[in-house]
Amino acid sequence: DGGITQSPKYLFRKEGQNVTLSCEQNLNHDAMYWYRQDPGQGLRLIYYSQIVNDFQKGDIAEGYSVSREKKESFPLTVTSAQKNPTAFYLCASSPGPPDLPQDNSPLHFGNGTRLTVT
């Protein structure tokens, strides 16, 4: 079955440590995204990548870094510079750019990683 796999499901870290969240997809999608979810705030875009070896900052990129060395993988590193890292992190993917809006399959999400930093 095709899908998006995020690991681990739960992650605990001490303040001041960097931590990397894994996201792998076997949907052959070109684009991948990282969202952060906090209670009552919906989902906010951290970084996205529309093609291998290229990525762009989203709305809340400060304190995060990403890489896109392979089409199927888009790991997110939460650095010690991120002031409030405790959150639920969601990875998503989508096919390449559509010609018409209805040709684009909306985002497919993984099941998330809950990061707790103390």
Which residues would be at the binding site for another protein (CB under 8 A)? 4, 6, 9, 31, 33, 35, 40-45, 48, 50, 58-60, 90, 92, 94, 96-98, 100-102, 104, 106-112, 114
Q: Please, are residues 78 and 64 in contact by the beta-carbon 8 Å criterion?
A: yes
Q: Name the minimum Å distance from CB 44 to another protein.
A: 7
Q: Which residue, 20 or 56, is less far from another protein as judged by CB?
A: 56
Tokens for 48, please give them. 């996205």
Q: Which residue, 85 or 110, is less far from another protein as judged by CB?
A: 110
Q: Name the minimum Å distance from CB 75 to another protein.
A: 17
CA distances from 5 to 57, 74, 75, 111 (A): 22, 11, 11, 7
Q: Name the minimum Å distance from CB 5 to another protein.
A: 11
65: exposed, middle or buried (Cβ count in 10 Å: 0-12, 13-18, 19+) = middle
